[in-house]
Amino acid sequence: MTTTNNKIFSYWKSASWLLRIVYVNIAIFLVLRIGAVVAFFIGADNYSWARYLECPSSLAILAQQPWAIFTYMFAQFDVLHILFNMLWLYGFGRLFLEFNSQKQLLALYIYGGLLGAIVFMLGYNYLPAFDSHHGWLIGSSASAIAIVIATAILNPEHKVGLFFIGQISLKWIAIITLAIFFLGLSGENSGGHMAHFGGALAGALYGVMLRRGTDITRPFNKLLDFFANTYVAIKSFKLPKFTKKSAPKAKKWDKTKSSTTNSNNTTTKATASPEDQAELDKILDKIKKSGYTALTSEEKQRLFDVSKRIK
């Protein structure tokens, strides 16, 4: 299991931001669908819990689940919904990365989703057509269309091949897509199409401003870099290790120094005079032959005096 997790982490780390976004969308879709299957067999509502990921049109409900304004743009529940969105996102995302960086793609994806949610909520709260109506927003369509429109504005004459149509310029793909969204505003998914126009607005702002030399994704990427650098700093920070103070080691005995010290501190013995030495030798010879008891009192005193002088 650990080896599999390491492989997944390594593959995630080496993947581009485009692929990471696709992976997150697919993972959340699978969680929602598997949860729906389990809920179905246990007799529970197989969709209500997914509401926690959807963006509500009501500001009061959004205040209770503020994360939903971000999570909705990574969630899909229907198979065709995620299939269309991921093909749309991946195809135009690769074209986008030919002229832009991965960080710009991630930022624009978020911008498109946020502006899509804002337009969705404004429409439901202020347009007469949605008076007394409440809606929920789910899907990455607004984020994907932001990348489509931005790519078309930055390189409008770039041609791509489409099934049954052939080569067509990006500008015409963008125009036709917006026309389809406009015609769908009065249909069942009118709220979703309003979000599409919010995403398209984000893509248009990015493309137009970038052509004028201003990158509107720079503040987002600076914030992202700040959090990334902070995370790395915290992860690499290590507390100093406090070890128990050990007793000082005994100094090694230096023979040379000891010898020098001893030689300096040694008291020089006095040298005996020739007369004292001769008398001392005579007394010592007598002791050797006859023993100490053979000495007279005078000789014993003399031995003591001479020994004291030469000590």
Q: What is the pLDDT of residue 160?
A: 83
Q: Are 297 and 283 in contact (CB under 8 A)?
A: no
| One domain, residues 101 and 210 | yes
How many C-beta neighbours within 10 Å does residue 225 have? Answer: 11
Domain boundary among 171, 204, 227: 227
Cα(86)–Cα(126) distance, rounded to whole angstroms?
Answer: 31
Both tokens of 45, joined, read 């509502």
Per residue in 50-79, pLDDT tens? 889 999 999 999 999 999 999 999 999 999
State the total domains in the chain: 2
DSSP state of 291: -
In a domain, 85, yes or no: yes
Mean pLDDT of 261-273: 49
Same domain? For 147 and 90 the reply is yes
Euclidean distance between CA atoms 240 and 187, whole angstroms: 65
- For residue range 168-205, what is the model confidence (pLDDT) as tens digits? 899 999 999 999 999 988 888 888 999 999 999 999 99
Task: Please state the length of the chain.
Answer: 311
Residues 218 and 296 in one domain: no
pLDDT beyond 70 at 262: no
Are both 26 and 112 inside the same structural domain?
yes
pLDDT tens digits for 116-127?
999 999 999 999
The bridge status of strand 159-162 relative to strand 136-137 is unpaired
The range of the structural domain enclosing residue 190 comes to 2-227
**Would you say 147 and 170 are in contact if contact means Cβ atoms under 8 Å apart?**
no
pLDDT tens-digit map of 10-44? 777 788 899 999 999 999 999 999 988 888 888 87
Could you tell me which residues come within 8 angstroms of residue 252 by beta carbon, excluding any fewer than 6 positions away? none
- pTM listed for this prediction: 0.73
